[in-house]
Structure 1
Amino acid sequence: MSGTNSTAPQALNVSDLRDQLDGMAHREGIHKWDLGASRSSNATVQVDRGEAKQLKASQRSSITVRVWNDAGLVGITSTTDLSPSGLERALIGARDASQFGNANDIPGFSPLAMAPTPELNRPLQPALGIQKLLSTLKQAEKDLLGQHQAIETVPYNGLSEGSSERIYLNSDGAVRQVQRTQASLYLYARAEEMGRKPRSGGAIRVALGSEGLDVQGCVDEAAQRTLSHLNYQPIDTGRYLVCFTPEAFLDLLGAFSSLMNARAILDGVSLSDADSIGSRLAVPFLSLHDNGLHPGHVGAAPFDGEGTPTQRLRLIHNGQLESFLHSEATARHFGVKPTGHAGLGAKVSVGPDWFEVSTSEGTTSGTTHLHHSTSLDTFVLIESLNALHAGVKASQGSFSLPFDGWLVRDGEKLSVESATVAGDIRQVLSGIVHLEPDAKVTHQGVSPHVWVDGLAITGEA
């Protein structure tokens, strides 16, 4: 990638592409097919003490073709070749593979694949180029190192920008296409004082383009978080009132999203079952939406992998489970409409887009409960959860996770040296005592600070 400004690459002509596929399918005697494709172009830089550590530019493409044979069985082929010959080989390969299709799991076209999609205000942004990214990141690292003499290195850092395109086509006439641009910055600093353990902290910023990144805000937040952990102490093992930052609570919620995932329910790896709709899952003042259309969601798309329009879906209302996340196949099984959460692949996956945690309308946020049932003199403020891949048993509901955070006692904030927080997600959701009124838009969703009473904290032995 050059150092000059450039715009997103020329979009694919999806109408011509669909006509090509239609002609090929007709010649091969294929009557039902669909295609999902994505391609991206990215530039990423990393630095180390003012020098370039890594400069990387990449282009990727991924194409999935599905074909239904006359017996109704489905074959699937993945490729990276969008040329006419590559597409023809993919169609023929998928047709041949359909002979071995699973008769017990047959996906279909989404009934909403040609429904109107929502308007998204995501104007494409110009790329600044890898040289500009490098100079910006060098300056950010320099500014962060200059914030305090204890900050010695910024071992993890990165600045990237890129563009992407996604399409969905099928033989019934569905034609979906979206282009996006996105940029991200992360800075993770390491500080050390004589006779003390090294301490770290970081920050992330995302935007539609590099020019929209709040670089100085990222520097300041990374410095503040790192320095706030210098004054650390061990914490006694026990049960504490815990306040999760928005980022930490969204991480925990995302780790247990199988609670609301219809695919996970059908696969038998969810705590919920087909009869869980309407059951109490959380305190009555909590609501949860999956809102892939939120203005703060930089990577928003108007449709999912099956062409179903993206929507704002209410999952929990007044503490009760109200909806599951669905693909076409799971929606058909449950007798509902697809929700726009499918990913196209050898097995159609289901996943959340962008969680939005809020207080249910017409309810209190638990403030009275917080002040009258708990002591605010001492609590643990959890900034971030670590080792989510290893410390979460989603199908059982349990977790035991190292965390970064502070013990707050009589207004004094002391970093916790090393500790884990453990519990059960059902107890967490039912043990919430307060949702703060101001929600924060993060790079992964929207949430207020969330207060939970009686969580087990294990300090370093």
Structure 2
Amino acid sequence: MVQVTELANYTAEIAKKLGIKKYDIFGSAADATSVEVERGEPKQVKASNRSSVIVRVWNDGNTMGVTSTTDVDPNGIELALKMAQEASAFGVKEHTPDFSPEATAETAEVKRKPEPQAEVSALIEKLLVAEKELTNSHPAIESVPYNGLSQRDIDRFYLNSDGAIRDEAASYSSVYLYTKAEEEGKKPRSAGSYKVNERLADLDIAGCIQEAAQKTISHLNYKKIPSGKYRVVFSAEAFLSLLGAFSNLFNAQSILDKQSLSTPESLGESIASPLLSVSDDPLHSANIGASTFDGEGTPTRCTPLITEGVLAGFLHSAGTAKRMNAKPTGNANIGAKVTVSPHFYHVFPGRAAEGEYDLDSAENVILIDDLSALHAGVNALQGSFSLPFDGWLVNGRDRVSIDSSTIAGDFRELLQSIIYVEPDPEITPSGVCPRIWVDNLSVAGE
């Protein structure tokens, strides 16, 4: 782990020697180990130690140069500072990035500590047991072709010439299992599950096995459905993946670059059903990978995005906040260009619904578990999407897997068509979200 106080001290000395008055450094390092198995035998073991350090220097003309390095000893830092200093002569003169006004503000207290990593042999043993249990759970489950068990330690730090010093460290473990099932005369069917936890000992491997098995078995009996308009229920993972695909709605940098469905004047507009509320909440207790500061050193926080259907906020860096007369939200990533991205979505009910809906009593409703081809089937600038999905046609307690269907529409119309936000949330790696009910969505089936 980088000793950030020591780094700050010798960086200040080197900068003074080079005549550099203004600089900042952001760095992260990840030490990861992962294993894969195949048909009862170890398949692959990976170990990596990756680090990335971004050094920015401003000259007397207030233009900025950027360089990256993996070497944070005094020699490496001196070389990086020199290169960034030279590059600053060619820096942009319009909307030059600057220090965050909150780079020295207090951050939230998140009680985490790095956990000791288990031996590779222990990881392989656990994954082999999981593979065996999963293939034994049903005769049709022929193999688990995609699987992995990993553990990772992450260190992050930020410092600048104004005295800001931040660092944090965390650990987490994850497991994923993705099956292949085959029955004579039928198409192969697949399903998967992913779990993550801070400690390997607390990782819900049994739950991952059970979820992957149940989903796979539920997809064995499938049928085509007629094309038409359907009432659709999105699982947490499906809705969050769609929300992430259209995150330019809330991204201040995208808005300023005119690459968004929103404009600076969109705040306060009704963009969704009043039943829906959404926030970006990196400090949510369910966020295993929570960060207390962003790439500019700004403390992270809960940022309301949609409040009872109304667009309530944007995600900002220090630069976008200054240009839009707002406050930084702790969503900046620094590099050759400062970018903005969400951390961890929290979707929850807004205004109370007039009635309640229950899948156990639903008729002719489609439950979407997972969306595919988001890289190709989404036009984020037009708001349109056309995506294959895995899901079931629900009639009461009877659920039949749907074969080869696509859902299509306009994301803004989808948000307005929400008729129910269930009260019970599901936890996913990208956020916390309940199931979302939407009326009259177009489904291309048979």
Measured against the shorter chain, the TM-score band is: over 0.9
1:77–1:93 Cα contact (<8 Å) kept: yes
Give aligned pairs, total: 444
CA displacement, residues 97-129 of structure 1 (integer Å, 9 cap, x when unaligned)? 011001123000000000000011223322112
Alignment of 1:291-306 (within 5 A): 291-306=281-296
1:291–1:312 Cα contact (<8 Å) kept: yes
SS of aligned partner of 1:199: coil
Alignment match of 1:365 (pick from 337, 353, 357): 353
TM-score (norm 2): 0.98
CA displacement, residues 341-368 of structure 1 (integer Å, 9 cap, x when unaligned)? 00111101100001001112xx213536
Residue identity over aligned pairs, in percent, reads 49
Identify the residue that residue 265 of structure 2 maps to in structure 1.
275
Structure 1 gap segments, 5+ residues each: 1-10
Counterparts of 2:396 and 2:215 in 1: how far apart (Å)? 20
Identify the residue that residue 186 of structure 2 maps to in structure 1.
196
1:158 corresponds to 2:144: no
Alignment match of 1:110 (pick from 100, 106, 129): 100
1:255 corresponds to 2:254: no
Counterparts of 1:97 and 1:131 in 2: how far apart (Å)? 47
Identify the residue that residue 342 of structure 1 maps to in structure 2.
332
CA displacement, residues 118-167 of structure 1 (integer Å, 9 cap, x when unaligned)? 01122332211211111100110001011011000001000000101000
Alignment of 1:301-316 (within 5 A): 301-316=291-306
Identify the residue that residue 226 of structure 2 maps to in structure 1.
236
CA displacement, residues 220-252 of structure 1 (integer Å, 9 cap, x when unaligned)? 000000010000001111110000011111111
Counterparts of 1:309 and 1:127 in 2: how far apart (Å)? 29
1:383 corresponds to 2:361: no
Counterparts of 2:256 and 2:125 in 1: how far apart (Å)? 50
Stretch deviating more after TM superposition (115-124 or 328-337): 115-124
2:267–2:313 Cα contact (<8 Å) kept: yes
CA displacement, residues 303-339 of structure 1 (integer Å, 9 cap, x when unaligned)? 0111000101111111111110000000000111100
1:47 corresponds to 2:37: yes
Q: Name the aligned partner's letter for residue 402 of structure 1.
A: P
1:406–1:416 Cα contact (<8 Å) kept: yes
1:366–1:435 Cα contact (<8 Å) kept: no
> Displacement, 1:410?
4.7
1:377–1:411 Cα contact (<8 Å) kept: no
Counterparts of 2:225 and 2:191 in 1: how far apart (Å)? 19
Structure 2 gap segments, 5+ residues each: none
Q: Name the aligned partner's letter for residue 260 of structure 2.
A: S
Counterparts of 2:67 and 2:110 in 1: how far apart (Å)? 31
Report runs of 4+ in structure 1 exceeding 4 Å deviation. none
Alignment match of 1:34 (pick from 21, 24, 38): 24
1:285–1:366 Cα contact (<8 Å) kept: no
Alignment of 1:60-139 (within 5 A): 60-139=50-129
Q: Name the aligned partner's letter for residue 393 of structure 1.
A: N
1:255–1:392 Cα contact (<8 Å) kept: yes
> Displacement, 1:376?
3.7
Alignment match of 2:312 (pick from 317, 322, 330): 322
SS of aligned partner of 1:145: helix
SS of aligned partner of 2:206: helix
Stretch deviating more after TM superposition (124-133 or 232-241): 124-133
1:459 corresponds to 2:445: yes
Counterparts of 1:388 and 1:35 in 2: how far apart (Å)? 34
SS of aligned partner of 1:87: helix
Counterparts of 1:351 and 1:65 in 2: how far apart (Å)? 20
Stretch deviating more after TM superposition (42-51 or 451-460): 451-460
2:145–2:179 Cα contact (<8 Å) kept: yes
2:426–2:434 Cα contact (<8 Å) kept: yes
1:246–1:449 Cα contact (<8 Å) kept: yes
1:222 corresponds to 2:212: yes
1:56 corresponds to 2:46: yes
1:142 corresponds to 2:132: yes
Counterparts of 2:428 and 2:219 in 1: how far apart (Å)? 21
SS of aligned partner of 1:401: strand
Alignment match of 2:4 (pick from 14, 24, 27): 14
CA displacement, residues 4-40 of structure 1 (integer Å, 9 cap, x when unaligned)? xxxxxxx321111011111111111110000000111
Stretch deviating more after TM superposition (121-130 or 317-326): 121-130
